[in-house]
């Protein structure tokens, strides 16, 4: 076992992108608003390869996964421990592999249920339920799978999704990708290009929303029933959407059987297509995992929706009003270009923000807090 280095990372503030996107909307600024707190970025553990998601148990243990397979626990005393688990049937190609993680809302010493979303060599993406050992030494499959039949691109693993998040009412939400198949996002009988509601006890599945391209983030706004999705656009218009049951978010790339990525992310010709809360315009930023900052420890940042950026290499912050409409956007200066690609963000039970980098070599789990 190795100890996690808790080292202050260099804080480098880069110039803002400035100007405007090609659609005329303002680009997010790297300048934080007046009164914004200064952030401290620490390395919790390193030496990782393409970590995808991170969650924190009530007693403080952090659990993260890596896309090629493998679970790692960081115990409250800083000990880093491999969690033994069987990934012998994992399909890990391109953008697909071991992806989203979620702990059951009732997770405690007696109920240690964990959920993962992962590619399977039999030709599907699955949600699998696990039970984690009390000492975090191993995880055992208990519902294998809990949900089957999420479509998979078996050639190159493109657009596999797959984010997990529990809704306020206890449903397990699953954000899926369209697998670069143009017919799936608008097909109500397909589980691709959707956000699904799953009964975590039985595995029963309901298509909650449709018309998505590749859902990479799901975030529940604290104290509300608002759920926001984050997804990649083609060569324009990464999106953040406020999800409503039965709504269509307008991605329809079915060009006479081809995958036509020239169409708008939200096609205005689709009746009732819901416009995005936020859109990147041109260029895209490659938005990924998201969470809300919640608590007085964040000062002026309290309430922000923060989103990991892969291509743009940073964290985007969005201020939303009570209805979910955008009022402000900027980049967190301390993470703007300093850590490379940011895959996932998670506010832990300890109130800190945790982030995984996805640079491919010597990736890191980061802890972000407000400086004293």
pTM: 0.93
Q: What does the pLDDT read at residue 16?
A: 31
- The pLDDT of residue 304 is above 50: yes
State pLDDT tens for residues 63-106. 999 999 999 999 999 999 999 999 999 999 999 999 999 999 99
Average pLDDT over residues 270-280: 97
Q: How many CA atoms lie within 13 A of 339 on its CB side?
A: 34
* Nearest partner of 65 among 346, 337, 368, 351, judged by Cα: 346
Strand partners, 47: none
Beta-ladder partners of 248: 210
Tell me: pLDDT of 2 over 60: no
What is the percent of the chain with per-residue pLDDT over 70, rounded to a whole number?
A: 92
Angle at 54 between CA 160 and CA 15, to 5 degrees: 85
- In 22-46, which positions are buried (b, 16+ CB within 10 angstroms) versus exposed (e)? eeeeebbebebeeebeebbbbbbbe
Report the candidate in 186, 208, 211, 190 with the shortest Cα–Cα distance to residue 199: 208
Q: Please tell me the predicted confidence (pLDDT) of residue 27.
A: 66
Rounded to whole angstroms, how far apart are CA atoms 71 and 90?
Answer: 13
Angle at 237 between CA 315 and CA 354, to 5 degrees: 20
Would the pLDDT of 151 be above 70? yes
DSSP assignment string, 108-147 = SSS--EEEEEEEETTTEEEEEEEEE-TTSSBEEEEEEEEE
Computed over every residue of the chain, the mean pLDDT equals: 92
Q: Record the tokens describing residue 246, joined without a space.
A: 């039965």
Distance CA 294, CA 298 (A): 7
Question: pLDDT tens digits for 158-214?
Answer: 999 999 999 999 999 999 999 999 999 999 999 999 999 999 999 999 999 999 999
Q: Check residue 9 and give its pLDDT.
A: 31
Burial of 316 per CB tally in 10 Å (0-12, 13-18, 19+): buried
Confidence of residue 142 (pLDDT cuts 50, 70, 90): very high
CA distance 96 to 142: 22
Which letter, b or e, does each residue of 102-118 get, where b requires 16 or more Cβ atoms within 10 Å of its Cβ?
Answer: bbbeebeeeebbbbbbb
pLDDT digits (tens, 9 = 90+) for 22-70: 443 456 766 788 889 999 999 999 999 999 999 999 999 999 999 999 9
256 CB-near residues (< 8 Å, 6+ apart): none
Task: List the structure tokens of 307.
Answer: 């989103």
Tokens at 322, concatenated: 């009570």
- How much is the average pLDDT of 280-302? 97
DSSP 8-state assignment for residue 96? B
Residue 69 CA from chain centroid, whole number: 17
Domains and CATH numbers, the chain: 2-370 (2.120.10.30)
Q: Of 22-31, 148-157, 187-196, 269-278, which gets the smallest average pLDDT?
A: 22-31
What pLDDT does 26 receive? 52
Bridge partners, residue 40, by sequence: 369
């Amino acid at each position: 076992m190795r100890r996690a280095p808790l080292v202050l990372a260099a804080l480098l503030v880069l110039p803002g992108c400035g100007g405007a996107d090609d659609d005329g909307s303002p680009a997010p600024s790297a300048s934080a608003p007046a009164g914004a707190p200064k952030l401290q970025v620490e390395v919790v553990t390193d030496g990782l390869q393409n970590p995808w998601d991170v969650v924190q148990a009530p007693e403080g243990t952090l659990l993260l996964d890596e896309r090629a397979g493998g679970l790692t626990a960081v115990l409250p005393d800083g000990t880093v421990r491999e969690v033994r688990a069987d990934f012998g049937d994992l399909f890990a190609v391109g953008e697909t592999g071991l992806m989203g993680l979620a702990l059951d809302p009732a997770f405690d010493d007696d109920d240690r249920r964990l959920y993962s979303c992962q590619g399977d060599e039999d030709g599907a993406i699955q949600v699998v339920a696990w039970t984690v050992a009390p000492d975090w030494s191993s995880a055992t499959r208990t519902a294998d799978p809990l949900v089957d039949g999420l479509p998979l691109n078996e050639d190159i693993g493109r657009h596999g999704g797959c984010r997990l998040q529990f809704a306020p009412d206890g449903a397990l939400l699953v954000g899926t990708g369209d697998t670069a198949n143009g017919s799936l996002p608008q097909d109500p009988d397909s589980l691709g290009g959707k956000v699904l509601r799953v009964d975590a006890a039985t595995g029963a599945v309901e298509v909650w929303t449709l018309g998505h391209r590749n859902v990479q983030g799901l975030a529940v706004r604290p104290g509300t029933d608002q759920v926001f999705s984050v997804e990649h656009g083609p060569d324009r218009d990464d999106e953040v959407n406020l999800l409503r049951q039965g709504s269509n978010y307008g991605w329809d790339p079915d060009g006479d059987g081809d995958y036509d990525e020239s169409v708008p992310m939200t096609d205005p010709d689709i009746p009732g297509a819901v416009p995005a809360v936020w859109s990147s315009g041109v260029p895209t930023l490659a938005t990924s995992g998201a969470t809300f900052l919640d608590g007085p420890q964040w000062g002026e940042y309290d309430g922000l929706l923060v989103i990991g950026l892969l291509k743009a290499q940073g964290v985007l912050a969005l201020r939303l009003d009570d209805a979910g409409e955008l009022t402000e956007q900027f980049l967190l200066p301390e993470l703007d270009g300093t850590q490379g690609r940011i895959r996932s963000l998670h506010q832990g039970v300890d109130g800190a923000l945790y982030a995984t980098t996805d640079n491919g070599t010597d990736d890191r789990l980061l802890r972000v807090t407000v400086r004293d």
